[in-house]
Amino acid sequence: MFNPKDATLSSNLISSPPRTGIEHAPDTEVSDPGGQDLPRSFLRRTLTTEILNGINLQIISMARQGIVVYDQDLRYVLWNPFMEEMTGLRSHQVLGKHPSELFPFLKEQGLDRLIERALTGEPASTPEFTYYVPDTGKSGWASAVYGPLRDLNGRIVGVIATVEGITRRKLAEEALGQSEERYRNAVERATDMIYMLSTDGTIISLNQAFETLAGWSRAEWIGRNLLGLVHPDDLDLTVKLFQRVFHGESSRTFELRLLSKSGEYLVCECTAAPQIENGRVVAASGMVRDITARKRAVEALRQAEKEL
């Protein structure tokens, strides 16, 4: 990726057309149009410089980032194909013009001051910004880095910038954020308890159903160990089960008795699964369904059958 923080660029890099080859010849002398004899090695060096400038132009043309050059009056002198694609403006529509003539958003967002800073020799990076091109209707997100453009003697002759188009990433982040928000809403609306534990059994998160079913506030238990809620007779089963989960195994549905704030133990049907990041287990999560009423109904039915 080209870094414009402090670029040195000869003027013919902007104006010279790309060359495609060079003939190698013996190092003999030839005459220039003025009648002086010049060694072929000098000609080769000159042609090589022209070819390198041509290669640089090809790199600029093929770059998958915007490359822009401003002169000392901050008028555009280079506008590569990436910028044409991003803005919808061809180079002939841009070259020779000042940014304020084409892109009002630069001044509106204070980005013009960063370009001016680069002209004084101070590189500058923008935050991520939105852009809108009035002439074409193109819009999106981008970020840019501006740096002073120096000639071969180190004098500042303009500004060079690289521009990253980040619209796709921002749209993906926005979609992910919406998806996460929908997930959080679904979790909060769930009638079953949904939990997450750290690898030492500490409760990381609980949904609203925990408060509704167990009577505790979430704040009373987040940061405490799950075992504090488990019936003493179920502790051994719970420890063994979560040891397997933290080794990467998902559990089958299992029953536990969990303490409610009233002091009653709820009979619960539970699931547990490992949360894996970069190949290692970082947490466990699952659901807890209160089946106390169902178990009581089954027990009452059995008792009634015995009495018949």
Q: Are 145 and 195 members of one domain?
A: no
Q: Are 225 and 146 members of one domain?
A: no
Q: Are 231 and 271 members of one domain?
A: yes
Count the domains in the chain.
2
Q: In terms of Cα–Cα distance, which of 162, 166, 107, 112 is closest to 141?
A: 166
Q: Are 195 and 78 members of one domain?
A: no
Domain that holds residue 287: 190-307
Q: Are 59 and 158 members of one domain?
A: yes
Q: Are 12 and 117 members of one domain?
A: yes
Q: For 165-212, how does the pLDDT look when each residue is reduced to its tens digit (9 = 90+)?
A: 999 888 888 887 787 788 788 888 899 999 999 999 999 999 999 999
Q: Are 229 and 263 members of one domain?
A: yes
Whether the model clears a pTM of 0.85, i.e. scores above it, the answer is no
Q: Are 57 and 122 members of one domain?
A: yes
From 170, 199, 221, give the residue that closes a domain. 170
Q: Are 194 and 153 members of one domain?
A: no
CA–CA gap between residue 199 and residue 282 (Å, rounded): 6
- The residue among 244 and 50 whose pLDDT is bigger is 244
Q: With pLDDT > 70 as the criterion, what percentage of the chain qualifies?
A: 82
| CATH code of the domain containing 211 | 3.30.450.20
Q: Which of 13-22, 91-100, 136-145, 299-308 has the lowest mean pLDDT?
A: 13-22
Taken in order 156, 158, 164, 170, the sign of the CA dihedral is positive
In a domain, 205, yes or no: yes
In a domain, 266, yes or no: yes
pLDDT of 12 above 70? no
pLDDT of 38 above 70? no
* Contact status, residue 241 vs residue 250, Cβ threshold 8 Å: no
What residues have CB less than 8 Å from 150, skipping those under 6 apart?
6, 7, 8, 9, 156, 157
According to DSSP, the residues that pair with 167 across neighbouring strands are none
